[in-house]
Amino acid sequence: MLSPALETSAGGFLLVLSIVVPVAGVLLAFALGDRYVRLVAFTVVPVGSTIAAAVLLVLPQNDGHLAYLLGAWPPPLGVALRADGSSAVMLATTAIVICVVAVFAASDFRPASGNRRAPFAFWILLLAIWAALNTIFVGGDLFTLYVALELLTFAAVPLVSLEGRAETLQAALRYLLFALLGSILYLMGTALFYGLYGTLDIVLLSHRASAEPGALIAAALMTTGLLAKTALFPLHLWLPPAHAGAPAAASAILSGLVVKGSFFILLRLWFNVRPGMSGFAAAQFLAALGAGAIVVGSIVALRQERLKLLVAYSTLAQIGYLFLMFPLAFNASGQLESGQALAGGLLQTVSHATAKAAMFLAVGSIYAGFGHDRVTGIRGAARALPLSVMTFALAGFALMGVQPGGAALAKELLLQETARTGQWWWAGVLQVGGMFTAAYVVLVLAHALSPPDQPVALVAKPPRSSGLAALALALCSLLLGLLPWEPYLPITYAAESKLFGVEALVKLLVTVFGGAALAILLSPWPHPLAFSAAGKTIMHLIAPLRRTCIGLGSLVETGDGVLRQWSTASISLLLVALLLAALMFVAN
Amino acid sequence: MNFARDIMTIACVSTGAFFFLAGTVGLLRFPDTLTRLHALTKADNLGLGFVVLGLLPQAGGLRDGLKLMSIWMFALLAGATVSQLIARTVRRSGAG
Amino acid sequence: MSSVSVFGLCAAAAVGLGLYGLITNPQPLRKIVAFNLLGSGVFLLFGIVGRRGAAAGVGNDPVPQALVITGIVVAFSATALAIALLLRLFHAAGSTTLSSRAPTSPRSDPSGG
Amino acid sequence: MSIATVFEVALAAVVLGLAIWTIAVPETYSATVGFVAYGLLVALIWVRLDAVDVALTEAAIGGGLGGVVLLGAAARLRDAEATAAERPDRFTRLIAAILSASIAAALGLAILILPDHAPTLAPVVAANAGATGMANPVTNVLMAFRGMDTMLEKVVLLLTVVGVWSLASDRAWGGRPGPHHEADPHGVLAFLARLLPPAGIVVGIYMLWTGADHPGGAFQGGAVLASMWLLAIMAGLADTPPVSSRWLRFILVAGPGLFLVVGLGGLCFGAAFLAYPVAFAKPLILGIEVAMVLTIAATLALLLAGAPERNA
């Protein structure tokens, strides 16, 4: 919950600093010029991280709330910054990911003569993304959040096309246009909210807003706009090419952090602005889209030959996972409650942010080492690039829900909520989602661990510091379940204690074996298993089944291709908006 | 006195509007670029001139009057330059 | 009908037209124009909301006006960035199509550009 | 129906007609021309809505400079029109039309059923105008009450410059943006470019200055200054500076930079971040606006010029 108080709290200035420091970094880096951008970035990163840590420390002492009135003007006239437990967690996550990516990118984006353009853009955009995300996490006003959202988009788009190849330019343009469509829908809702209630302050709106038709239309439009920016299936046309086309460090930021920005605003909108008016049906709809994302994203991921695209599609699936918590968060009186389900969703977000960033970094190193990133061509990677493969493995384990990862804890929390609310079907989706994640992790590892036909000759050796940074991030994701979350998120010990035990181990084994089976059945590439005698027999036995599954997979891939056409995607966007509005009307 | 001012305003602005109408009809109906340009600049110069002249009696003071006059002057200047440029392009490309 | 209703419906219609253009026009440049149309419709919404809130001797609530001014500048930035991307894409690829063929194919040139 | 309503209905009809033309006309160039005309008429609607500040911004930036960007691109992309012809089939267009119309209808409905007692912040803004010493309520909102949005939006502008520049080829990095304009030094354009800028600069500064108490301000003034600079560049009298130029970089960060410094001053010595001490509020805000008008002018002009293309 956000602080209801309309006054600055002690320590509130930290919220200002969390925005101002990266902004100052952007301005300074731009003014000082190409040679000093990296230096500025490396000065700002520790300062910004200290501020995030300070927010974490100060927040529990203030009953879990921080607030700051900008210009000392109270809302609705002025703009307030507010932080609650979820803001603090996201601030810290962002700081960690940015730190790691900065270390990873230090050598790739070293300003050198003849190569100044990319470093100049990269470091400034990195800092700008940080500023935008922090503004999103602590912004208390819907229009300030809009400006921050645009800042985020304008910083993210040039990262996609940093390499200047035609296909990345195309990906960047698609991303920009679709994101603009999303933000315009968001802005429409903002206008209606102001017209209805005369304020855009989140806390004031939560007191004033009621389920009248205008507010429902506004909410539907804003939700849809944010879904487009978060790339929830079927509004994902821009994500795979954009995330796969960017340089590794940029992909890590785009996949790990940028999509979480619009998702966080969505949480604010649903849980803080209007907890009572969303309606159960609309939440089910969102979760259904999420389930669609898990199935389609995972199946298409398994069919990708390029690792980067595989990881990008896995992001698509994981975004779907984030939406499963919406129907689980309703309490008995039909209100969205900022309780355990929300905590599970946020934990899922944090876990994905760290794990997926680490994964993209690992894939980037593999790409740099092999000179390509074809799944079928990375045999022997485990011996040639042990650090990167280990990073990929650990990040993958964290994602699929291996203890004590954040995803495991999140899954446990959400499963408890499905039991509490009696929505067993989402429990099934949660389990299947874990299995699909296991599938593409196992697939990649099987290829990377199998011995090469001929000795691997690396094109380039990625610097050790980069590899270690990525590994640290993966480890961080895998240890999230051990952290003390109580001061920030409503998580009970009951969930944590269930993490270890025979039951949990059985669940894990089911997930991994299920994943392996899915990988064998759905991946069209020659399987490494097939080269041993026993493997050949097994493959022979299941050949007809595998053919059917692969046929099904190619059908899904074709469908995905249709959905990713511009006109289909934008029609889906309007359809989602109208459906959401209709569902909300029915509920109220 | 007020009445006389209003009469002048109505007369001048109406005349200005007529020139705009004529210019627009010319722009749409004339056969080639140069004659269209001719119609357009007439409308700009005379039509806007009359409108400004008509508004002058309604201006609050000398400052507002000067602002109105300078708007007309700038429009004249820009219009003259642009039509020169267009005409030259037309002559060079021989599209006549 | 009051001026608020007239311009309100006008704004809604501009939004509809902009959406239609954004979806159906094949050229990216036309999409950008349509986006601008859409944006101006949304800004007009703010203007209508502000006009309804005229009070205290001010003909239009200054807060939505300020939001729109910010919004117009952001929309202009978006247009400029999109156009720059488009021109660069045309320069690099010789066409400006947005259809998705390229991304799923394996890359032929591993060194990048 | 009063005569004012007749005028408003006619204005709305013409605006909609232009909007339809802009979407439906086959040639891209005509569409952009239609959009510029549309933008100017929308500015008239803003005047009718009694929002002159917005009208100026819309005319200067929305329809004006935005139109110039689109027109320039349309001219450069004329050859590309044929290559991108993948027009969706009739069925898709029909669905798109139905859905767009539904969204428009929902929006129109939402506007028509807004509450009779419209909420407003106008009285609060007016009551607090004394804190800044400026009479233009919009400037007060932009610079004081919602100063954070304005500062972040300046960063958005700067990032757009970074984004546009990042599209340069590695070879052209550090060079001058945009194509070089050769014009007859004795031609009519050069004549205009010598005659107009002095007056234009005065107008731009006037718009900034008058923005404290009357409609106007840094955006509108900045747009006028930017167009004067562009005029000189197009006439060949000036050239875009190389992107590595130190003073250019300085001007581009001056506006948000000063905003940030003043804001931090408020954090350290005053009431809050972005709070102005009452005694110095007006000079401080005007100081920020002067820096901002330079930044806005340079940014807008550079965004129009595009990515670096030529070596300095």
What DSSP string runs through D9-72?
HHHHHHHHHHHHHHHH-S-HHHHHHHHHHHHHHHHHHHHHTT-HHHHHHIIIIIIIIHHHHHHH
Nearest to C79 among D22, D66, D83 (CB): D66
Q: Is D195 on the interface with B (CB under 8 A)?
A: yes
Residue A97, pLDDT above cutoff 90 = yes
Identify how many contiguous H helices and E strands chain A contains and give both numbers: 24, 2
Determine whether the interchain pair D267/A13 forms a contact, defined as Cβ–Cβ distance below 8 Å.
yes
DSSP at C94: S
Considering only residues D236 and A322, tell me which one the structure prediction assigns the higher pLDDT: A322
Q: Compute how many other C-beta atoms are within 10 angstroms of the C-beta atom of residue A305.
A: 17
Our separate counts of H helices and E strands in chain D read 12, 2
Instruction: Choose the closest CB to D189 out of B70, B74, B81.
Output: B81
Tens-digit pLDDT profile for residues A359-416: 999 999 999 888 888 888 888 888 888 899 999 999 999 998 887 888 888 888 888 8
Subunits adjacent to chain A (3 or more Cβ pairs under 8 Å): C, D
Q: Are C27 and D29 a contacting pair, CB within 8 Å? A: no
C103 with A240: Cβ contact below 8 A: yes
Contact predicate A434/A471, CB 8 Å? no
Q: How confident is the model at residue C71 (pLDDT cuts 50, 70, 90)?
A: very high
- Each residue's pLDDT tens digit, A98-135: 999 999 998 888 877 677 888 999 999 999 999 999 99
Nearest chain B CA: its distance from D192 CA (Å): 7
Summarize the confidence of residues A477-493 as an average pLDDT: 82
Helix (H, G, I), strand (E, B) or coil at C112: coil
Question: What number of CA atoms fall less than 13 Å from residue D47's CA on the CB side?
Answer: 12
* pLDDT the model gives residue A333: 77
Of B48-52, D64-68, D213-217, D250-254, the range with the lowest mean pLDDT is D213-217
- Residue A177: its chain C contacts at CB < 8 A? 22, 28, 31-32, 35, 82, 98
Contact D149 A147 (CB under 8 A): yes
Res. B1: pLDDT tops 70: no
| Single-letter code of the amino acid located at A347 | L
Span A56-73, pLDDT tens digits: 999 988 888 889 999 888
pLDDT score of A242 more than 60 = yes
Residue A243, pLDDT above cutoff 50:
yes
C62 contacts in D (CB within 8 Å)?
A: 121-122, 125, 137-138, 140-141
D138 min Cα distance to partner chain A (Å): 12
The pLDDT value given to residue A29: 93
Region of poorest pLDDT, from D14-23, D94-103, D164-173, D181-190: D181-190
Here the tokens at position A47 are: 């300062």
Task: Tally the domains of chain B.
Answer: 1
Cβ-based neighbours of C11, under 8 Å, separated by 6 or more: C41, C42, C44, C45, C47, C48, D107, D111
Task: Name chain D contacts of B84, Cβ cutoff 8 Å.
Answer: 188
- Shortest distance between the Cα of D104 and any Cα of chain A, in A, equals 11
Averaged pLDDT for residues A490-514: 74
Query: Tokens for C65?
Result: 């006006």
The per-residue pLDDT for A113 is: 67
Whether D196 and chain B come into contact, CB under 8 Å, resolves to yes
For residues D268-295, give the mean pLDDT: 88
Q: Does residue D286 contact residue D150 with C-beta atoms inside 8 Å?
A: no
Residues in chain A closer than 8 A to C64 (CB atoms):
191, 194
Quote the mean pLDDT of chain B: 85
Q: Is the pLDDT of residue A498 over 70?
A: no
pLDDT at C103 over 70: no
Residue type, D28: T
What SS3 class is residue A62?
coil
Is the distance from CB of C41 to CB of C74 less than 8 angstroms? no
Query: Given a cut of 70, is residue C100 above it in pLDDT?
Result: no
| CB–CB contact C78 A161 (8 Å) | no
More confidently predicted of C80 and D173: C80
In this predicted structure, the answer to whether residue A47 has a pLDDT above a threshold of 50 is: yes
- pLDDT for D226 beyond 70: yes
Neighbouring subunits of D (3+ Cβ pairs under 8 A): A, B, C
Residue in A323, A259, A254 with CA at minimum distance from that of residue A576: A323
Residues of D in contact with B86 (CB under 8 A): none
Question: Which residues, other chains included, contact D33 with Cβ-Cβ below 8 Å and sequence gap of 6+?
Answer: D71
Whose structure tokens read 């990881």? A311
Q: Indicate if the pLDDT at residue C104 is higher than 70.
A: no
Q: Is D275 left (phi over 0), alpha (psi -120 to 50) or beta?
A: beta
Residues D196, B77: C-beta atoms closer than 8 Å: yes
pLDDT of A92 over the 90 cut: yes
pLDDT tens, residue by residue, D8-20: 899 999 999 999 9
Give A216 or A279, the one with higher predicted confidence: A216
Q: Is it the case that residue D83 has pLDDT exceeding 60?
A: no
The reported pLDDT for the residue numbered D75 is 86
C-alpha distances in Å from residue D106, one per residue of A215, A216, A397: 11, 10, 46
With beta carbons under 8 A apart, name residues in chain C contacting A195: 45, 48-49, 52
Among A114-128, A175-189, A432-446, D241-255, name the most confident range.
A175-189
**CA pair distance A321, A342, nearest whole angstrom:** 13
- Helices D281-305 and C62-93, axial angle in degrees (round to 10): 20
Torsion (CA) C40, C42, C48, C51 in degrees, nearest 10: -70
- What is the pLDDT, as a whole number, of residue A157? 95
Chain A residue numbers with beta carbons less than 8 Å from the beta carbon of C82 are 173, 176-177, 180
C84 touches A at CB < 8 Å:
no
Q: What is the pLDDT of residue D99?
A: 93
Q: Exposure pattern of D297-306 as b/e (b: 16+ CB <10 Å)?
A: bbbbbbbbbb
**Is the predicted pLDDT of residue C107 greater than 50, yes or no?**
no
How far, in Å, CA of C89 to CA of A145, rounded? Answer: 31
Residue B15's pLDDT is what? 92
Mutant choice from C2, C10, C67 vs D, greatest count of D C-beta within 10 A: C10
Mutation target among C17, C20, C60, C74 for the A interface, most CBs of A within 10 A: C74
Closest-CA distance, C43 to chain A, in angstroms, reads: 8
Q: CB of D308 within 8 A of CB of D177? A: yes
Report the range out of A317-321, C2-6, D280-284 with the highest average pLDDT.
Answer: A317-321
D238: confidence class by pLDDT, cuts 50, 70, 90: confident
Q: Which residues have CB under 8 Å from D295's CB, separation 6+?
A: D154, D157, D222, D251, D252, D253, D254, D255, D256
The predicted model gives A413-438 an average pLDDT of 89
Between C91 and A351, name the one with better pLDDT: A351
Give the model confidence (pLDDT) of B51-82 as tens digits.
999 998 888 788 888 988 988 888 888 888 88
CB-nearest to D163 from A131, A157, A198 is A157
Q: What is the pLDDT of residue A5?
A: 57
Q: What residue in D sits closest to B84 (Cα-Cα)?
A: D188
pLDDT in tens, A250-285: 999 999 999 999 999 999 999 988 777 777 888 999
* Contacting residues of A for D253, CB less than 8 Å apart: 27, 30-31
Report the distance separating Cα A121 and Cα A321, nearest Å: 32
Closest C-alpha to A557, from A240, A151, A166: A240
The beta-carbon neighbor of D272 closest among A69, A188, A581 is A69
Token pair of A23 as six digits: 């902004």
Examine the pLDDT at A48 and tell me if it is beyond 60: yes
> By C-alpha distance, which of D250, D245, D246 is closest to D312?
D245
pLDDT of A79 over the 50 cut: yes
Task: Among C81, C92, C106, select the one facing A176 at the smallest CB separation.
Answer: C81
Contact flag D192-B74 (C-beta cutoff 8 Å): no
pLDDT higher than threshold 60 for residue A229: yes
Complete DSSP assignment for A498-547: TTSSHHHHHHHHHHHHHHHHHHHHH--SPPGGGGSHHHHHHHHHTHHHHH
Nearest CA in chain C to D7: C3
Q: How far does the CA of residue A176 sit from the closest CA of chain D (Å)?
A: 12
Q: What's the whole-number mean pLDDT along residues D139-163?
A: 92
Give pLDDT, residue A51: 94
Give the model's confidence band at A182: pLDDT under 50 very low, under 70 low, under 90 confident, else very high: very high
Residue with tokens 């985020």: A152
Chain C environment of A170 (Cβ under 8 Å): 89, 93, 97-98, 102
Q: Is the pLDDT of residue D85 over 90?
A: no
Interval A541-563: pLDDT, tens:
888 888 888 888 889 999 998 88
Chain A residues inside the 8 Å CB shell of C71: 187
Please tell me which of the candidates C42, C99, C112 has its beta carbon nearest to residue A191: C42
Report CA torsion sign: A310, A313, A317, A322. positive
Parent domain of B56: 2-93
Q: Is the pLDDT of residue D86 over 70?
A: no
Which residues in chain D have their CB less than 8 angstroms from residue A118's CB?
166, 170
Cβ–Cβ under 8 Å, residues D69 and D304? yes
Answer whether residue A494 shows pLDDT above 80: no
d(CA A257, CA A236): 16
Q: What is the pLDDT of residue A500?
A: 66
Q: Quote the mean pLDDT of chain C.
A: 83
Q: Specify the pLDDT at position B61.
A: 83
**Which residue of chain D comes nearest to A188, CA vs CA?**
D107
Contact D189 B85 (CB under 8 A): yes
Which amino acid is it at D269? F
Residues 278-317 of A with CB under 8 A from C: 304-306, 309
Please report the pLDDT score of residue B91 as a whole number: 82
Tell me the three-class secondary structure of B26-84, residue by residue.
Answer: HHHHCCCHHHHHHHHHHHHHHHHHHHHHHHHHHCCCHHHHHHHHHHHHHHHHHHHHHHH
Q: What is the dihedral of CA A257, A259, A260, A264, to 10 degrees?
A: 150
Sequential DSSP letters for A147-199: HHHHHHHHHHHHHHTTT--HHHHHHHHHHHHHHHHHHHHHHHHHHHHHHHHS-
Would the pLDDT of A499 be above 80?
A: no
Question: Do C7 and C48 form a contact (C-beta atoms < 8 A)?
Answer: yes
pLDDT value of residue D108:
92
Residues of D whose CB is below 8 A from B78: 192, 196
The answer to whether A72 contacts D244, with C-beta atoms less than 8 Å apart, is no
Read off the pLDDT band of C106 (50, 70, 90): very low
Section A292-313 average pLDDT: 92
CATH number for the domain running over C3-95? 1.10.287
Mean model confidence pLDDT for chain A: 88
Q: Which residue is it, tokens 């959401």?
A: A580
Instruction: Enumerate the β-bridge partners of residue C58.
Output: C55
